[in-house]
Amino acid sequence: MTDQSDWRPATKLVRGGLRRSQFRETSEALFLNSGFVYDDAAQAEAAFNGDVDVFIDSRNGNPTVATFEDRLAALEGAAACRATATGMAAVFAALLCQVKAGDRVVAARELFGSCHYIIAKLLPRWGVEVEFVKGTDLDAWEKALSRPTTVTFLESPSNPMLDIVDIAAVTELSHRAGARLVIDNVFATPLFQRPLELGADVVVYSATKHIDGQGRCLGGAVLGAKDFIDDVFQPFYRNTGPSMSPFNAWVMAKALETLDLRVERQTTNAARIAGWFEARSDIKQVRYPGMASHPQHELAKRQMSGFGSLVTIELPGGKAAAFKFLDALSLIDISNNLGDAKSLVCHPSTTTHSRLTEAERLDIGVTEGVVRLSIGLEAPDDLLEDIEQALAAASAA
C-alpha cells in the first residue's frame, strides 16, 4: 500500500484509513456491531494478552471507528488517534488519564464552558491543583509554570472572542515545567492549525463541529504520540468507556471527505462577512483573526494557515440590541452549535457563558452586546441581506 503519510491533505481526507472488506465495497463499510468472535479459545486468550491484534469489542476498538481515527490521524500528522462519543468525552479523558491527586494543571481561562467546568470544578474535587491564566499573556504563563506542572490546556482561537494563544511559546514553557500541553483545536480545525508541529503533545476535537459539520452526530477525538495514546490514554479509555458509536464514526469518516471543501468555503464566506461588518459604523467591535484589526493578527498569520468560520461582533446596544438582532434574523438560526453548513448565531453571555460570573465574563471580553456567528455554506449575499435587515431592526431599538 502507498505510504499514507506522503499523501497531500485532500487525498488523506478521502482515502486515509480505508479498510476494504472481502466484498470490495467502494464506500467505507459500516461495522455496526458491539462485539467480535474468535476462531478458537486460544485466539481469545491471545487477544486479551495483546499477543494478536484483533478487535475485542467496540468499546476497545471497531473497524469503522478505526477508519475514522486513522483518517483524522493522517490529516493531523499524529501517530495515533482515539475517537470518543463527544468532544467533552475527549477533553475529559485526555485530562483525567494523566492526572492524580497532588498534581497541578494550568489552563487558559478563555475556554468552552464545559472545559472550564472540568478544570475549575471537577479536578479540584479530586485533589488536583488548578490555576487559570490569561491565554494571551505569556508572562502569566511563565509565572504559573515556574512550578512543576503535569498538564497545560488551552483553546486557540478561543470561544467566543477568538483570542489567539502562542502555542509554540506555551509549549516551551509547559515542557520546562514538566507538563504535557493539550490543545482544544476545534475552532481552527485540523486544516488551519497543526498544534503537534508547533510542539504541543495532545490535540482534542469536538467532531460535532466542523468535522461532521452537518448537525447530525456528536463525536470527539484525541490525537498524540503513540506511547501517549497506547500507554497513558488507552487504559483509561478502555476501562471507562467513552467510545464513539460505529454509526457516528461512519458518518464522521464520510464527513471528512468533504471537510476541506466545506471549511474553505465557510472561511471565504466568514472573511467576507467580517469585512462587511468592519466597514459599518454601527458595530462596536468585530473580531476575526484574519483581519489586521484583530489584536493577535500577526500571531494568527504565523501559526494558522486559515482563519476559520467564526466571526464575533459586539453591538453597541447591549443585551436588548443583541436579542433584537438575533430575533430579527430569518435565515441564520439561533443555536449554540458551530462549524455547521447552516449559519448559526448565539448570544454567549446568556447561553454558552452564562455560568461564569459577570466579572469572569467581562475579564474575557464577553459583554452583553457580544454576538457570535458561525458562518455556513449559504450564498454570502443571502447571509448579508439577512444580517443587514436584522441590524436595522436592532438599531431601531
Considering the complex, what minimum distance in angstroms separates the CB of residue 158 from ligand PLP?
Answer: 8
Considering the complex, what minimum distance in angstroms separates the CB of residue 72 from ligand PLP?
Answer: 14
Cα distance between residue 73 and residue 381, in whole Å: 36
Nearer to ligand PLP, 309 or 321 (CB): 309
Cell of 315: 453591538
Nearer to ligand PLP, 185 or 296 (CB): 185
Considering the complex, what minimum distance in angstroms separates the CB of residue 186 from ligand PLP?
Answer: 4
The sheet carrying 202-206 orders its strands as 80-84, 220-224, 202-206, 180-184, 151-155, 104-108, 129-133
Beta carbons of 187 and 155 less than 8 angstroms apart: yes
Considering the complex, what minimum distance in angstroms separates the CB of residue 78 from ligand PLP?
Answer: 18
Nearer to ligand PLP, 308 or 380 (CB): 308
Beta carbons of 287 and 307 less than 8 angstroms apart: no
CA-based torsion, 260, 261, 262, 264: positive or negative: positive
Cα distance between residue 158 and residue 72, in whole Å: 22
Element (DSSP H or E) covering residue 388: helix 380-395
Number of Cβ atoms within 10 Å of the Cβ of 350? 13
Nearer to ligand PLP, 135 or 220 (CB): 220
Chain residues in the site for ligand PLP (CB under 6 A): 86-88, 91, 112, 115, 155, 159, 184, 186, 206, 208-209, 218, 220
Cα distance between residue 188 and residue 158, in whole Å: 9
Nearer to ligand PLP, 91 or 108 (CB): 91
Cα distance between the two ends of the chain: 64
Cβ-proximal residues to 318 (8 Å cutoff; 6+ apart), any chain: 367, 368, 369
**Cβ-proximal residue to ligand PLP, closest one:** 87
Nearer to ligand PLP, 219 or 380 (CB): 219
Nearer to ligand PLP, 94 or 196 (CB): 94
Q: Where are the alpha helices (DSSP H) in the chain?
A: 9-15, 41-49, 63-76, 87-96, 113-117, 123-125, 138-144, 167-176, 189-192, 226-227, 234-240, 246-256, 259-278, 297-303, 318-328, 358-363, 380-395
Considering the complex, what minimum distance in angstroms separates the CB of residue 147 from ligand PLP?
Answer: 27
Nearer to ligand PLP, 95 or 313 (CB): 95
Nearer to ligand PLP, 12 or 210 (CB): 210
Element (DSSP H or E) covering residue 117: helix 113-117
Nearer to ligand PLP, 55 or 236 (CB): 236
Torsion of CA 72, 167, 312, 280, to 10 degrees: -120
Considering the complex, what minimum distance in angstroms separates the CB of residue 218 from ligand PLP?
Answer: 5
| Amino acid at position 123, single letter | L
Residue 120 is classified by DSSP as I
Considering the complex, what minimum distance in angstroms separates the CB of residue 109 from ligand PLP?
Answer: 14
Considering the complex, what minimum distance in angstroms separates the CB of residue 86 from ligand PLP?
Answer: 3
Considering the complex, what minimum distance in angstroms separates the CB of residue 267 from ligand PLP?
Answer: 16
Considering the complex, what minimum distance in angstroms separates the CB of residue 220 from ligand PLP?
Answer: 5
Q: Parallel, antiparallel, or unpaired: how do β-strands 220-224 and 80-84 relate?
A: antiparallel
